[in-house]
Structure 1
Amino acid sequence: MSLDTPKFSDLDALYSADSKVATAMYEDPDLFAEEMERIFKRTWVWVAHESEFPDKGSFKLSTVGLEPVIVVRDRKDKIHVMVNRCRHRAATVCEVKKGKTSSFQCPYHGWGYGLDGSLRALPYPEQYGDDFDKAQHGLLKLRAESYNGMVFATFNEDAEPLVDFLGPQVCRYIDLFMKQGGGFPIKVLGEHQFTVPMNWKVQLENTTDGYHFPVVHKSFMQTLDGETNDMFDFLEKGKGWVEDLGNGHSVMVMIPELIDLDDNLDAPIPDRFAELAQELRDDGYPEDQVKKIVRAVGGAGFNLNLFPNVSFSLAFFRVLTPVTVERTDIRHMALGMDGGPAAANRMRLRLHEHFQGPMGFGSPDDAEVWERVQRGTKGGEALPILVNRGLIDEVPGEAGPKGHISAETGMRAAYTMWKRMMAQ
């Protein structure tokens, strides 16, 4: 498909100025194909956290849009992102999700590639003639840049630098989110993946949508002690906000007092963490470090949504991978403290399982409503999908509009960026 002229020239019909989304946005396979080209191949897409491949020669598999990629550290500790496709006959050169290696080899005809993607050797090269140049047949490489351990890649050599795409407000929130290490580096402790029959944008809308929380997550709220329930009753209190951070990114601040986990460390330790605090004391941690670790264990008080495919939610990363117009893979990555106390990481995993885990009280309910949104689009095709909540009292923020905790400001931020990229 040529990208010189957008196929969908009437973008206003898909996302209107009065914040209405057309049903075709979730259902049109041609639109989906163009999104993969105009968005996922042109902007920065999150592919990995550095803790997932910490050593020289370590790697993990990921995706950029529909394209399978390998994220790897070479012997000089440089990070490379390469399309997982042999340059000969297109077979994948790696099928192990993560690990450590000195090279990659195609299983079909034995073409061998270095950690930097260069073609190192191939059987019987004389049959290609004297003018065959191995330097021209390495694995296809993407631009790769990192910010605070988060690795992004793009096919677009002309894309702005990653820090410019993120912007200062996003970088600030990423830095604040990483304080969940409690003085230790953040580490991915594990992940689970599931598939939802929905368009990828249904999930993109969710992370900074506070309006659904007391409805969809009622069962989760009923499992909490009174102190924790009161903390998560952010919609009723209305102290938080949603803010457009530019370039499709947004933040939903649910618990303002937990934006910066280094603030107010002298506050009393919540009852639910009393046993953890005592275990840390028994292990020899001084009181000031105990308070810092315990506060970090509970997670940050905000959700950060980065266009187009990753979000930071309380204490985990959520990554979306488009598969088809009506299928999206979701990965939930539990986060802990690299080198931190075993007791703290154990508690982090229990908290993750309570909400995000496959048997948790949060994510399964989210997945059900995502699927029901997709099913609902089969009826009333001409009816618009509304993302106009909170327009009445939005105020200017540092990078974009800022609205009530239940406002759909984050969705409007994402769709404004979507429209901009689809018009290019």
Structure 2
Amino acid sequence: MTETLPSRDYASLVQDDRVHTSLYRDPAIFDDEMDRIFKNTWVWVGHASEVPGPNTFKTSYVGRQPVILTRDKDDRFHVLLNRCRHRAATVCERRKGKGNVFVCPYHGWSYNIDGKLRAVPHASVYDDSFNKDDFALESLRVEQYNGMIFATFRQDIEPLVEFLGAATKWIDLFMKQGAGFGVKTLGEHQFRFRGNWKIQLENTTDAYHFPIVHKTFLDSLDAETENVFDVLGQGGWVEDLGNGHSLMVMIPDLVDLEANLDAPIPDRFAELASELAAEGHSDAMVRKIVRAVGGTGFNLNLFPNVACSMAFFRVLRPISVEETEIRHVAIGMDGGPEAGNRARLRLHEHFQGPMGFGSPDDAEGWERVQRGAQAGDNLWIMVNRGIDPLVGHIAGSNVTDVSAETGMRAAYQMWKRMMVA
């Protein structure tokens, strides 16, 4: 028997163990999400390595609004609305680059890298009340944590570090993939799927699907590596970190990449280890680099739009109620050995690249959810798996089974909190 709900009664649409299917398919709900969530919280816009020096920039989005992330000559970050203050044309169409000025192609208004209006052609035609200081590009509040840059429209919001809360510990662990060299982005794979953004948000801390959806990936591995990716059988866990953030540990032995460095180097990395040793790296450094190349054993979901997923950033951008853009951004060592970064890219291509196993399989699953959600009028999406915490687990008393839907429940409770505020 189905239940009839008041239209867009957000408090009722999200319950402790289920969410209403209209969250996937109601355009009015989607429009409200863009205002109540994406304009009212910290949204990830880029990594510091994507704007690597003075006068560099990249274009990004906060919800549906186009922005430019810039670094000025004093190494300060800015996030600017990509909209000329004259007649609204975008002032930058390049994905990334270097330069100290943006020029609107429509009427030639130009702006400094920090957004200040620089020059206006034929400005004498304006009357004496015209003041260039009144027409800078609109600037968002911007903060960064360990290289991850976030922006928000709200000037009165809590500091970023407070919003991230318990997730900061896991961001720090994730960034150990720099092996002491620091972390930088290496390249990315971008695609769109026909489905709601929250379907992907659910996926990052969903280990339950892994051995089913990614069976072809597991079949492509050697026996040793396949055992490593036995994500349901290694004592992992899922944890609600607060503010909609969640953690899924699949391979506990790879939580801290600087621990257990005396362990044998896996056979799949033997050739890389030999190449690094031949380049003159010490045995200790070879082990550290190899461990970093293999990636972490966990996925960290940061509400609402980015995940630190084992060895890459997964970034979502809502396009419409039934279309979402995904960027899978590979990361590597900033200044580390070329051989290590090359190996990292090959691993990324194997699972997340356009010809890899992970992205096509995931996207097919997400699109099937969106198609199936069109069936029935008042049905629920169930997120009730693994509600009870694990007893006596090494990670503590606030964790659930690695296959539990704890991450989904965490995200949807934050969704409800923001949508009813």
Whether 1:234 aligns to 2:237 is no
Among candidates 370, 377, 382, match of residue 374 of structure 1: 370
Q: 1:283 aligns with which of 269, 279, 283?
A: 279
Amino acid at match of 2:159: P
Residues 302-325 of structure 1, C-alpha deviations (whole Å, 9 max, x = no match) = 000000000011100000000101
Structure 2, unpaired ranges of 5+: 1-5
Q: Distance in 2 between matches of 1:244 and 1:33?
A: 27
1:12-31 to structure 2, matched below 5 A, reads 12-17=11-16, 19-31=17-29
- Is contact 2:389-2:397 (8 Å) kept? no
- Given candidates 346, 351, 367, the residue that maps to 1:355 is 351
Indicate how the Cα distance of structure 1 residues 213 and 376 shifts in structure 2: closer, same or farther if over 3 A, else same.
Answer: same
- SS of residue matched to 1:234: coil
The answer (yes or no) to whether the contact 1:9–1:423 under 8 Å persists in 2 is: no
Deviations 1:149-205 (A, max 9, x none): 0000000111100000000x2111000000011111111000111000110000000
1:176 to 152, 163, 173: 173
Equivalent residue number for residue 108 of structure 2: 110
Residues 244, 399 of structure 1: 8 Å contact kept? no
Tell me the number of residue pairs that the alignment of Structure 1 and Structure 2 aligns: 415
For 2:226 and 2:108, the matched residues in 1 are separated by 58
Deviation at 1:400, TM superposition (A): 9.7
Please report how far the alpha carbon of residue 393 of structure 1 lies from its aligned counterpart in structure 2 after TM superposition: 3.9
> Which residue pairs with 1:418 in the alignment?
415
* Mapped contact 1:63–1:321 kept (Cα < 8 A): yes
Distance (Å, rounded) in 2 between the aligned partners of 1:266 and 1:14: 51
Matches within 5 A, 1:18-417: 19-167=17-165, 169-235=166-232, 237-393=233-389, 401-417=398-414
Partner amino acid, structure 1, of 2:351: F
What residue identity is the alignment partner of 1:352?
H
Question: What secondary structure does 1:188 align onto?
Answer: strand
Does the CA contact (< 8 Å) of 1:238 and 1:405 recur in 2? no
2:3 — aligned with what? none
How many Å apart are 1:14 and its aligned residue? 1.3
State how far apart, in whole Å, the 2-side matches of 1:31 and 1:396 are: 41
How many angstroms does 1:396 deviate by? 11
SS at match of 2:319: strand
Preserved contact between residue 243 and residue 400 of structure 1 (Cα < 8 Å):
no
Per-residue Cα deviation, 1:330-387 (whole angstroms, up to 9, x for no partner) = 0000111111111101100000000000111111100100000000011123221101
For 1:3, the equivalent position in structure 2 comes to none
Report the aligned-residue RMSD: 1.6
Q: Which moved more, 1:391-400 or 1:209-218?
A: 391-400
- TM-score, structure 1 normalization: 0.95
Q: Aligned equivalents of 2:281 and 2:293: distance in 1?
A: 15
CA contact (8 A) 1:243 1:409 kept: yes
Q: Give the whole-Å Cα distance in 2 for the aligned partners of 1:125 and 1:144.
A: 31
The structure 1 segments of at least 4 consecutive aligned residues displaced by more than 3 Å after TM superposition are: 392-401
Aligned-partner Cα distance in 2 for 1:399–1:80: 40
Question: Matched residue of 2:57: which SS?
Answer: strand
**TM-score, with length taken from structure 2:** 0.96
Q: Report the CA distance between 1:23 and its aligned residue.
A: 1.0
